[in-house]
Structure 1
Amino acid sequence: MKPLEGITVLDFSQFLSAPSATMRLADLGARIIKVERPDSGDICRTLYVSNLKIEEDSSLFHSINRNKDGVSLDLKDPACREDLETLLSLADVMVVNFRPGVAKRLGLDYAAVSASHPKIVYGEITGYGTTGPWSARPGQDLLVQSLSGLAWLNGNQDQPPTPMGLSVADLFAGQHLAQGILAALIKRAACGEGSYVHVSMLESVMDMQFEVFTTWLNDGHQPPLRSAVNNANGYINAPYGIYRTADGYIAIAMVPITTLGQLVDCDALAAYTDPETWCS
């Protein structure tokens, strides 16, 4: 038996962030009922990261929506409201990542849903939170990576900010939402109360940089300094990095210079006994 067997999740989400959270819940045994609009369905069905199609949909859609059941409902049609209420009555968890204001217009915001389903765990992902000057803006992975400062940490000193090769803002937010939902389910089991779990993409990516921000706040606001060559971490000195060799590349992490000299049979490195001189 998987840990979430018997838990039903009503999934209204699209694209990558929130669907990745419900995918994790499905992996843990929950039943996911994905609600899609009639005809076109989740926009992710036509969002391609490769030329590969699986059953006429993009490979991305299938990879992020594995192990989910599906139902088609027009959430704007009053005639579908009875079916929607039936689904809500079955759900332990509900997940959305609508554009700002859409859930409230549909009568699917937390206040409306919890009024009739007080034990539901309601999970939501936004781009920049529910209040503040950016709250009305839709979130997008590359923009969030850039705004958070994450892209500045990649690449060498003389290179421009470089985004990660994966949609990490989406995926970090999805992981955080899944974590929050699990905590809320434990709370519900303990005291019978539902919860509202909100994650913003920007806060998720900033949270993943907790070491950078903690250091910055306690070190006179000095930003991390990217290495001029082979940068791999703003706070870790050489020989931490990926280096070209005669027949490919080698990743070196946490090896003293003198030990590295012994491993690669380079006597010149034996002189670097003082770590302060390793990257000078």
Structure 2
Amino acid sequence: MSQKQPLPLAGIRVVDYSHFLAGPYVGRCLAALGAEVIKVERPGSGDAGRQHAWFVGEDDAYSGYFLQLNMGKRGLSVDMRDPRGKALMRKLVDSADVFVENYRPGALDKLGLGYAELSARNPRLVYCSISAYGHTGPDAHRAGFGLIAEAKSGIMQMVGTPGEPPPLLRISLGDMYTGIHAVAAINAVLLGRTQTGRGQHIDMALYDTLVSMHEYAVQCYTLSGGKELPVQTGHDMPTSTLYGVFRAADGDLVIAAQVDDAWKRFAALVEAHGGPAGFGADTRLHQLTGRNAHRAEILSVVKAWVAGRRVAEVLALLDGIDVPSAKVQRIDEVLADPQIQARGMVVEQEHPVLGTLRLPNLPFRFSGCDTTVTQVAPDLGQHNAAIARELGFSDEEIAAMQADGVLFSKEH
């Protein structure tokens, strides 16, 4: 795509003082949208995400986890314990529009990087905090990760096979969903700042965000007067028959025939291709309430019908009658999927040491600009000197800070 318009956040400077996943993901998104994102890391080991698999390069020197979450950023590594490092950080934040952090509430106050102090210096600053429980409430002081929020939110309890412990979700739902909500909130405050001239403190909690995801469970419980509690249902949805996962002769697939018209087409197809006589004409099953009431009967028919066929055959039959369905794909199949390739959902970057990298793209699509990030994630402290120079430090001051380890990088 040709760049017809500037990227939406061009001219916005972001200080990414975060680690691991939720915060770095916010920074990655803002960089893709055109912001200048400066990744600030502690000297020595840097972001803890650098120690997270998958590792590549000589002596496993590079983390794929870090490369994915920090592409498009500039790298600064500064020792805040030294007064010169603290002065540099203050100048950097004074020049910034956005500050992103995901430490336990109160941790950055001790470094002089809390919202009260930074906003007093820079009233236009949009300060985004991400934590497990938020900055208020009885649990605000507690540490937590996405796993903790997934368990406490009620989401984990709803998935899995009845009678067995819930499975791990295997994707970082809490971090990523909170991260993209933080991106939305940051953009909202940036827009509001054009009217007020002032930023705000955004307080995002993993636990809050996952509770907000309940499009069904909370309202069912509250509106039923506490009678309706979600339970594990295994491989289908008891309140949306037919909607679930089925095993074919050579793999698994999903079928979404829960809408009345789709069900009628599906049931007629099953009957026409070896299913029970009268299955398609059974008016008991033509409305959702009837299908839910006869769920066990329906599942026994559909499971047997699918099990005798290969995945490709079932999908072809269902495509022919416009009933949504899909194979349960492995990651290698996802990456080879022509739809994913056509949508540019795998980005290729040229790394100076590792060569060509293939990493997941972000799903932003704009008519006037391309948000694909080609700039690889920075080495630890890669842009120290350039950033310090932009902030007004002389070459002599920069050299002294490099020699003393205040500015830390591989070269110094």
- TM-score, normalized by length of structure 2? 0.63
Q: Output the CA distance in 2 between the equivalents of 1:53 and 1:47.
A: 14
Post-superposition CA distance 1:10-32 (Å, at most 9, x none): 01000101111111111111110
Larger deviation, residues 98-107 vs 22-31 = 98-107
User: In the alignment, which residue of structure 1 is the partner of 2:265?
Assistant: 259
2:94–2:121: 8 Å Cα contact kept in structure 1? no
Contact 1:243/1:250 (CA < 8 Å) preserved in 2? yes
Any gaps of 5 or more consecutive residues in structure 1? none
Which residue of 1 is the match for residue 247 of structure 2? 244
> Are the counterparts in 1 of residues 257 and 266 from structure 2 also a CA contact under 8 Å?
no
C-alpha contact (below 8 Å) 2:17/2:100 kept by paired residues = yes
Aligned to 2:86: 81
* Residue in 2 that maps onto 1:274: 284
Mark the structure with the bigger radius of gyration: 2
Q: Give the match for residue 42 of structure 2.
A: 37
Equivalence for 2:160: 155
In structure 2, list runs of 5 or more residues that go unmatched: 1-5, 297-412
Q: How does 1:180-195 map to 2 (within 5 A)?
A: 180-195=185-200
Q: Which amino acid aligns with 2:247?
A: R
> How many angstroms apart in 2 are the aligned matches of 1:145 and 1:272?
41
Q: CA-atom RMSD, angstroms? A: 1.9
Residue number in structure 2 paired with 1:174: 179
Work out whether residues 146 and 163 of structure 1, in 8 Å CA contact, stay in contact via their aligned partners in 2.
Answer: no
TM-score by length of 1: 0.92
Q: For the residues of structure 2 that align with 1:85 and 1:212, how far apart are their CA atoms?
A: 45
In 2: Cα distance, 1:266 partner to 1:152 partner: 37
Q: Does 2:32 align with 1:27?
A: yes
Amino acid paired to 2:248: T
Which residue does 1:128 correspond to in 2?
A: 133
SS for the counterpart of 2:65 is: helix
Residues 35 and 70 of structure 1 are in contact (CA less than 8 Å); yes or no, is this contact kept in structure 2? yes
Note closer, same or farther for the CA distance 1:26–1:272 as it changes in structure 2 (3 Å cut). Answer: farther
Distance in 2 between residues matched to 1:176 and 1:46, nearest whole Å = 26
Describe the SS at the equivalent of 2:295.
Answer: coil
Distance 1:273 1:157 in 2: 30
Mapped pair 1:93 → 2:98: yes
Identity %: 33
**Which sits farther off after the overlay, 3-12 or 135-144?**
135-144
User: Counterpart of 2:393?
Assistant: none
